Structure 1
Amino acid sequence: MASSSTPKYNSNSLESSSSKRTLKDGTNWEQNEEIPRLPGETRFTDKDVIYMCPFNGPVKGRVYITNYRLYLRSVENDPVVVLNVPLGVISRIEKMGGASSRGENSYGLDITCKDMRNLRFALKQEGHSRRDIFEVLTKYAFPQSHNLLFFAFANEEKFSENGWMVYNPMSEYRRQGLPNERWRVTFINEHYGLCDTYPSLLVVPYNATDDDLKKVAAFRSRNRIPVLSWIHPETQAVIMRCSQPLVGMSGKRNKDDERYLDIIREANGQISKLTIYDARPNVNAVANKATGGGYEGEDAYPNAELFFLDIHNIHVMRESLKKLKDIVYPNVEESHWLSSLESTHWLEHIKV
């Protein structure tokens, strides 16, 4: 499975130990090393393991952990079985079995990946053999939880182009014909002082001042005010994005926020109503009032129409995806396929 998109290396075909190759992905392979490494990539530990392959059964091999990847090479298979997993793909690491576990391959690590893979490695039980590999994996798979930087900051690769300059927001706005007589670019968030989860440059209605934006931000969750995301090249209709208003259980109103949405409507030309799409189910939006959130009610926003898209929260979606993964990986039980698929509710979540 893991070797389908990963180059396989046959130790019998390697050149002399003094040679060096550069792989297609830019990875340098020193022939006297066990694994390919990127510039700045450091190997921390390695261990003999048995990889519990869901397709071919137990595979004996050696696993290597760096500050960027988990890398496994089989030692008895021909062709060689290779697992090359960037640590950023890992979502959970769990210990499997304990010191008193009985049964073959019952002691080791169970690794859940964000790409729907589950990797299971069995280790010898004596001498806490999994402790160091568990600690190193946990440390570098979740660097922020251990006050470490992501590997991107340790990467010493040299590129011909400055990655920070690949995307230029002002050039993108100009491509869309902005600014114009109805929309302007504001630098109010240049140092992320207005909203720390928004870009530094924002496009807002021409008739809204920066003081207006500050007042609106105080009434929006995490200060995420309505800002332009896209404009139609012919009709000049726009798509805005924002967070929920802080209405609360008492049904608070904010005249500045109400006026700002009306300015947005006017900037869209000859439309009588502003259409608001709320991604949440209606019941969730109502429940959010209890924690200070809410939605744009028709009393406060008479020139707007509100539609709920009935998309559930991240926890519900994650559980549904997990159920979907369980019925397709590693095997599909065709005799109960339709009922199993229905039980995940995944098709309900992704319907248009």
Structure 2
Amino acid sequence: MEFAELIRISRCDRVMLHQPHKAVLDGTLCITGHHLIVSSRDEEPQELWLLHSNIDTVERRQQGMTGGTLWLKCKDLRILQLDIIGADQFAKVSDTLEDLTRVDEPTLLYPFFYRPMYTVLEDGWTAFLPESEFSRLVQSGDDWRMSYVNKDYKVCPSYPSAMVVPKSIDDNELVAIANFRQGGRFPVLAYRHESSAVLLRSGQPLTTPNGKRCKEDERLLSLVLGRGKRGYVIDTRTQNLSQSAKLRGGGYESELHYPNWRRVHKPIDRHHVLIDSFTKLMDGINDNSSGMDKWLSRLENCSWMNNIKETLNCACLVAQCLDQEGASVLVHDTDGLDSTLQVTSLAQIILNPDCRTVRGFEALIEREWLQGGHPFALRHQKSCYTPSNQRTKGTHSPSFLLFLDCVHQIYSQFSCSFEFGESFLIMLFEHSYSSQFGTFLGNNEGERVVMKARERTTSLWSYVNRPEILHQFLNPMYEPNQRVIWPSVAPMSLQLWPAVYLRWVVDQAPQDAAWSVVKEIKERDSAIRSRVSRLRRQLQDLEKEAVANGIISQSIVNPGSPEPLEVA
């Protein structure tokens, strides 16, 4: 397919662009294969570059033969208004944008055409390989090993080529276990705590109504615990859903066959329930006619904050089991993707201080979400502005955004414990939906290998980790905290994330200006402290030199000395 077939008009003059917190832009519209570009004709030119993949939906309102208005509702939650003169031009622009936003062939997306104009200092595609990431968890003589049973992605399409599994389980047994777990997602190691308790994740067991068993699966989970120890299976579905899953071929771990594992249900909403909640949230925010009382009522009824509370609550439970009881934990829902990855990721942020650094958090995203097989292409194909009848039930979901929101809640309560600030989280949200980088392409590692994303696209990490770019995402209040942090999940401790949901409705410039002042003060304080330390070292060196040359006595340097004060 050629983009020329879709572009009915490439240039349109005399358009008016209305965008949040900016003056109306009177200029020229250009449409390329990947971008919508609006340029002003002023002496000081202004431009808007918008990726077509960022447009969630195009709404049109024609005004007879004079033209019409387009509302471009974007996945980054912006709503842009474009006024176009002329009925013919209006129709051509509308049809062109609607067709370009429907392009779903991955290799036609912008990351395959983007070429960085900077020197790549570090290849982000090789920065977080499984072998290096898990080397700190798996050491020689351990009961764990790296398995490449999935090197061709046939055992489990959504798993990476390398995973950490118990050493006593061979690859043939892993294949048998994969056949017993939803989507082939057999239990793999996600995290190993200081107490040697481990965190595993998987898909649901396919026990079926007949009580099907898998001896290899039972043996794997028994080996994880060791003799005389107990563990927890955290199922993020309700007990009724787990029971009904049996009728569809799924199920849960029976305590009869897994006697040392206790099953706990901690329900978390997923898929269409979550996207509906997100849609109601943004509908309430964008409704200017609502009063404060009505707005607060809509915020409560959308259940978005409740989703955050339940997800954090489940993650805290997992962290408590690992840290306070020293018990191993297996987390799964139905397919081991959305709520499972949210919980295992958040538990690691609570427990592991390394995950609160920039590189540690990037590594967490790679391990749990990208290599862990979260289907970004499916989940982020549509967002909250697409009408529900145009969304495929069970595929589109803001699971990753909910995870980032939960991280922001923890960050808000422990602001000094994170090396990165909320701008880093916002950047990840935006790039996960629409980007010039290939990091979030496809639904799993196997798909990215087939499309040769590593060879043909640039990694987001290659861009972000450049010193001049990374500097803007750092938290000026950061003070390394090596302890476990326990966030409060009480409703009064949780807050709507204004920098994401309200930024196109309420101008965030005052808050940004305040943070700039804080950053400037912290940088000045750091510079002064460095200078003081340097001057102290210089003074000590001068004192030592003076004593050595007999210019002053040691008693002057050390006043506590019993020697009399003498000046040579």
Higher strand share: 1
Is the contact between residue 138 and residue 144 of structure 2 (CA under 8 Å) also seen in structure 1?
no
Q: Distance in 1 between matches of 2:190 and 2:71?
A: 41
Q: Distance in 1 between matches of 2:22 and 2:287?
A: 11
* Structure 1 residue 278 corresponds to structure 2 residue 211: no
Q: Distance in 2 between matches of 1:291 and 1:119?
A: 44
Q: Distance in 2 between matches of 1:179 and 1:329?
A: 56
Per-residue deviation, residues 56-79 of structure 1 (Å, max 9, x unmatched)? 686533333334433333456x97
TM-score (norm 1): 0.73
Task: Find 2:248's aligned residue among 273, 291, 295.
Answer: 291
Per-residue deviation, residues 166-194 of structure 1 (Å, max 9, x unmatched)? 22221111133445421011111122221
Q: Distance in 2 between matches of 1:274 and 1:83?
A: 54
Paired position in structure 2 for 1:259: 219
Q: Distance in 1 between matches of 2:20 and 2:64?
A: 21
Aligned residues between the structures: 299
The one of the two structures with greater contact order (alpha-carbon pairs below 8 A, sep at least 6) is 2
Paired position in structure 1 for 2:115: 156
Paired position in structure 2 for 1:302: 259
Paired position in structure 2 for 1:33: none
Q: Distance in 1 between matches of 2:97 and 2:61?
A: 19
Where do residues 173-322 of structure 1 align in structure 2 (5 Å cutoff)?
173-178=134-139, 180-232=141-193, 234-266=194-226, 272-322=229-279
Q: Distance in 1 between matches of 2:23 and 2:277?
A: 28
- Bigger drift between 247-256 and 342-351 goes to 247-256
Paired position in structure 2 for 1:47: 12
Once the 2 structures are TM-superposed, how far is the Cα of residue 205 of structure 1 from its aligned partner?
Answer: 0.5
Per-residue deviation, residues 22-54 of structure 1 (Å, max 9, x unmatched)? xxxxxxxxxxxxxxxxxxxxxx83334333445
Once the 2 structures are TM-superposed, how far is the Cα of residue 102 of structure 1 from its aligned partner?
Answer: 5.6
* Structure 1 residue 60 corresponds to structure 2 residue 18: no
Higher helix share: 2
Distance 1:168 1:224, change over 3 A: same
Distance 1:73 1:137, change over 3 A: farther
Among all aligned residue pairs of Structure 1 and Structure 2, give the percentage whose two residues are the same amino acid. 30
Per-residue deviation, residues 121-141 of structure 1 (Å, max 9, x unmatched)? 2333522533355435633x4
Task: Find 2:52's aligned residue among 66, 87, 100.
Answer: 87
2:17 aligned partner, one-letter code: Y
SS in 1 for 2:85: coil
Paired position in structure 2 for 1:326: 283
Per-residue deviation, residues 91-147 of structure 1 (Å, max 9, x unmatched)? x2234235xx56997x343333222222332333522533355435633x444x357
Uncovered stretches (5+) of structure 1, i.e. residues with no partner: 1-43
Q: Distance in 1 between matches of 2:17 and 2:69?
A: 10
Q: Distance in 2 between matches of 1:179 and 1:84?
A: 52
Distance 1:324 1:299, change over 3 A: same
Once the 2 structures are TM-superposed, how far is the Cα of residue 240 of structure 1 from its aligned partner?
Answer: 1.0
Uncovered stretches (5+) of structure 2, i.e. residues with no partner: 1-8, 314-568
Distance 1:340 1:301, change over 3 A: same
Distance 1:230 1:131, change over 3 A: same
Aligned Cα RMSD in Å? 3.1
Q: Distance in 2 between matches of 1:104 and 1:265?
A: 72
Distance 1:46 1:298, change over 3 A: farther
